[in-house]
Structure 1
Amino acid sequence: MFEKTEKIFGWVYKFFEKFDFNTTVESYIGLLVNIALLSGIVYLIYLVCRFVLVTGMAIVAQKTRTKFDDLLISNETAKYMSHLIPLIYIYKVVPVILDDFNSWETIFGRLVGVYIVLLTLWIVISILKAIRDYLKTKPEYMDKPIDSYLQVIMILLWILGAITIVAKIFDVSTDTLVKTLGAVSALVILIFRDTILGFVASVQVSANDLIRIGDWITMDKFGADGDVIEINLTTLKVRNFDHTITTIPTYSLISDSFRNWRGMINSDGRRIKRHILIKANSIRFIREEELEDFNRIQLLTNYIQKKQVDIKRHNNLHEIDKSLSINGRNLTNFGLFRKYITKYLENYPGLNKDMILLCRQLQPTQYGIPLEIYCFSNDKRFENYEYIMSDIFDHILAAIIYFDLEIFELPAGKNNLEG
């Protein structure tokens, strides 16, 4: 570690050791004249480059159908390039103009070199931004985390640019500088912890296709329930259904669980899974004289008639004593109600009949016997899905009285007072 520190101070000493400020007045006058001439020439070069690149690219963009050149203009790529050419000319002419000023040549030359590196970075980044904006206009890339990829590339470019700038200022090779910076790599990792974690998470999210822009996700830990609108290197933005924005660290997508509703959106239906609680003491056998009333329920007429024939055949074959309803086979009001709901769902137009459709009885609880509806609506839009589900249960709740069944509900204060 101490050897690395000595190297750094050695570069600084070497940098200032080269400066020599012992010059004459005549030399300064000649320097000012040369700088004035250079400024005029550079300004003319800049005007020509600006006209050729900026104006020329604008004319070309108007005549072409592609939007990529328009995006290059909006990201000021041509503007940065028009500055780069005059800077390169200055960098080449500086050794000639400052031939008698070695110390100033060193300072000025390196400053211009640094500016050229920065300007080159800006040009490359503006081109990358134009590519990003162009890909976002393509349907096949609209749901991809392009911003994450761009941020990774930009971080690598800025790191490379910073190394190049430091190496140019202190006149050292980039290999030596990289080896020296390895001594402080632990500090770099600590500073860029979130960025590194976000980068790893972005790669995994992209490689495994966990989330796309436009996906509906639910993440209870962060209170997120809505559509993904942006995926960056460090954060993911979700527009909730109440139009609030939730920001989630990208690495949380790997470390924590979340629900992605893309599978439901891409499927042929949206699941309806809801139950009602039936009082156990309201379930009973159907008496023979009651069947005539149940036969009037059109969805059950054929079922009851066939079931009556089967039950009578079985009871007669086994000489069942029907003086007690519990003997032999019987119909129950709960069984008829389940069959009625099944027939009703099969005839309901808002459901997908090619997917699972059933009415099932669940494990009895202290609150009653759950009767669950399990089916899929053919319309997945939120408002239509809610309407279909509510319409089905409106009918079920209204129909239950015809089967002499009762729904469980906790007693209200009014009921307690009446008791």
Structure 2
Amino acid sequence: MEKYLEQIQTWLTEHPDMDTLVKLSLLLIGAWLANFIVKKVLLRGVLTVMSYTPAGKDRELLERNVIARISHVVPALVLSYGIFSVPGLPEAAAIVVSNVSKAFIVLTIARAISGVLNVINTLYERQPDAHERPIKGYLQVVTIAIYAIATILVIAALIDKSPVILLSGLGAMAAVLMLVFQDTLLSLVASVQISSNDIIRVGDWVEMPNLNVDGDVIDIALHTVKVQNWDKTISTIPTKRFISDPFKNWRGMQESGGRRVKRSLMLDQNSVHFLTKDELQGLRRFRLLKDYLANKQQEIDEWNQKLKEEGKEPVNTRRISNIGTFRAYCLNYLKNHPRIHQQMTLMVRQLNPTADGLPLEVYCFTATTEWVAYEGIQSDIFDHLISILPEFGLRVFQHPSGVDMREMVTQLKQNRHTET
């Protein structure tokens, strides 16, 4: 066996080109074998061991391929150091292969570290309070720094120079780097402010009318914040806009447990009047008005008794009005409503009269913050209030329509016909 090996070695020595080709082939085969052994044996063994742990059963973590990326370093190492053992190969070619292999190793390690940071972010986001303090932006800054260092090392490896030489030239490039990474630096500052001041979290309902954004925050990254609007479209907003632009965060409403109802009934001012005895008697049928009417009547009687002779004239006395009684009814109705939050502000008030009627504003909070339920409660309240208005002799104001004009003309014709 040794005799055959000596003969082969002698023959290769006499034919240097073949010697170079054979040993280069052996090097490539060795790199391929190293890659095969690492991936098919070691990598599979590691994954098998991990399968018995919680991390090994987590598909989302396995998809990061951190271990698979590190395994690519082995064949590159074989090429980087084995290329110089190939005889007859031009020195320049060997240096190029070695430098490219080293650059590939640096880039592979950087990608592996990036994968580890992604795994850390994934594990952190599974914490119950992760949405309050997202770290994705910070990890992205670290990733950028890693790739910046990797870029310097890759360039140094390709040109076969010390990284210190490249770093010494960064001072002169500082202005250029500031210009290139201007958005990144602004986004970094914005991310720090957002996180430290707890401005927004994943899951918050935010509204930015100037950008036509209205929906839930689904992702907070270094450069962008993603918001899924209520029409299911997704808006991507630069992170710095949440520092420079005004916006509304509805988190306080969601955490309070109640959502505000602030809507007005526009009443026809011509329908406002004092209640007659018959109208008062009819309104005493209302369970929600019994105490109010009794107390109000007692208060008015005591007031009017002090007027003595002047009290004989109705214009000098206080009387119960239909709009005041209706306002009291609305307030008691809300106080007895099971879906209205009784520990929050609750009132019914008149606003300044307008050309469109007298606004009677209902101001209260529902006992739920869910959108659909909130709209249902709000609608039910005003359905009832509008429907019961005629019981108080009140009317809702609205501008005349074509139907109103036709009815008016018809009524005039009937009146003329009756007169004739």
TM-score, with normalisation over the residues of structure 2? 0.86
Q: Is the 8 A contact 1:71 1:134 kept in 2?
A: no
CA distance in 2: counterparts of 1:310 and 1:72, whole angstroms: 74
Which moves more between the two structures, 286-295 or 391-400?
A: 286-295
How far off its partner does 1:100 sit? Answer: 7.0
Task: State the partner residue of 2:400.
Answer: 411
Choose which of 357, 379, 401 in structure 1 pairs with 2:390. Answer: 401
- Percent identity, aligned pairs only, is 36
Task: State the partner residue of 1:76.
Answer: 65
How far off its partner does 1:30 sit? Answer: 3.1
CA distance in 2: counterparts of 1:294 and 1:93, whole angstroms: 102
Are 1:137 and 2:137 counterparts? no
SS at match of 1:60: helix
How far off its partner does 1:400 sit? Answer: 1.4
Change (3 A) 1:194 1:293: same
CA distance in 2: counterparts of 1:25 and 1:175, whole angstroms: 45
Task: State the partner residue of 1:92.
Answer: 81
Choose which of 259, 282, 307 in structure 1 pairs with 2:271. Answer: 282
Are 1:163 and 2:152 counterparts? yes
CA-to-partner distance for each residue in 1:58-93, whole Å, 9 max, x for gaps?
Answer: 212321124686545321222222221232243333
Change (3 A) 1:315 1:49: same
How far off its partner does 1:256 sit? Answer: 0.8
List runs of 5+ in structure 1 lacking aligned partners.
1-23
CA distance in 2: counterparts of 1:123 and 1:50, whole angstroms: 15
Q: Is the 8 A contact 1:363 1:369 kept in 2?
A: yes
CA distance in 2: counterparts of 1:354 and 1:67, whole angstroms: 50
Task: State the partner residue of 1:259.
Answer: 248
Partner letter of residue 134 of structure 1? L
Are 1:227 and 2:216 counterparts? yes
Q: Is the 8 A contact 2:27 2:83 kept in 1?
A: no
Change (3 A) 1:103 1:174: same
Task: State the partner residue of 2:9.
Answer: none
Q: Is the 8 A contact 1:275 1:372 kept in 2?
A: yes
Q: Is the 8 A contact 2:339 2:366 kept in 1?
A: yes
How far off its partner does 1:26 sit? Answer: 5.2
After TM superposition, list the pairs within 5 Å mapping 1:149-228 onto structure 2. Answer: 149-228=138-217
CA-to-partner distance for each residue in 1:198-231, whole Å, 9 max, x for gaps?
Answer: 2322222222221111111111122111111222
How far off its partner does 1:151 sit? Answer: 2.6
Change (3 A) 1:27 1:71: farther
Aligned residues: 396
Change (3 A) 1:224 1:92: same
Q: Is the 8 A contact 1:143 1:213 kept in 2?
A: yes
Are 1:302 and 2:291 counterparts? yes
How far off its partner does 1:144 sit? Answer: 4.9
How far off its partner does 1:130 sit? Answer: 2.1
Task: State the partner residue of 1:357.
Answer: 346
Partner letter of residue 151 of structure 1? Q
SS at match of 2:198: coil
CA distance in 1: counterparts of 2:172 and 2:120, whole angstroms: 36
CA distance in 2: counterparts of 1:215 and 1:404, whole angstroms: 45
Partner letter of residue 225 of structure 1? D
Q: Is the 8 A contact 1:143 1:214 kept in 2?
A: no
How far off its partner does 1:28 sit? Answer: 4.1
Q: Is the 8 A contact 2:215 2:230 kept in 1?
A: yes
Task: State the partner residue of 1:63.
Answer: 52
Q: Is the 8 A contact 1:53 1:79 kept in 2?
A: no
Which moves more between the two structures, 58-67 or 257-266?
A: 58-67
Change (3 A) 1:25 1:68: farther
Change (3 A) 1:120 1:336: same
Q: Is the 8 A contact 1:283 1:332 kept in 2?
A: yes
CA-to-partner distance for each residue in 1:163-194, whole Å, 9 max, x for gaps?
Answer: 11122223333333233234344333334433
How far off its partner does 1:34 sit? Answer: 2.4
Task: State the partner residue of 1:11.
Answer: none
How far off its partner does 1:340 sit? Answer: 0.5
Are 1:51 and 2:40 counterparts? yes
Q: Is the 8 A contact 2:224 2:236 kept in 1?
A: yes
CA distance in 1: counterparts of 2:170 and 2:328, whole angstroms: 75
Choose which of 292, 308, 314 in structure 1 pairs with 2:303. Answer: 314
CA distance in 2: counterparts of 1:412 and 1:183, whole angstroms: 75
Partner letter of residue 311 of structure 1? I
SS at match of 2:170: helix
Task: State the partner residue of 1:125.
Answer: 114
Choose which of 376, 379, 387 in structure 1 pairs with 2:368. Answer: 379
Change (3 A) 1:238 1:98: farther
SS at match of 1:409: coil
How far off its partner does 1:235 sit? Answer: 2.1
Change (3 A) 1:121 1:155: same
CA-to-partner distance for each residue in 1:268-292, whole Å, 9 max, x for gaps?
Answer: 2111111112233332222345322
Choose which of 296, 320, 323 in structure 2 pairs with 1:334. Answer: 323
Change (3 A) 1:72 1:277: closer
Task: State the partner residue of 1:104.
Answer: 93
Q: Is the 8 A contact 1:57 1:69 kept in 2?
A: no
How far off its partner does 1:353 sit? Answer: 1.1
CA distance in 1: counterparts of 2:46 and 2:58, whole angstroms: 7
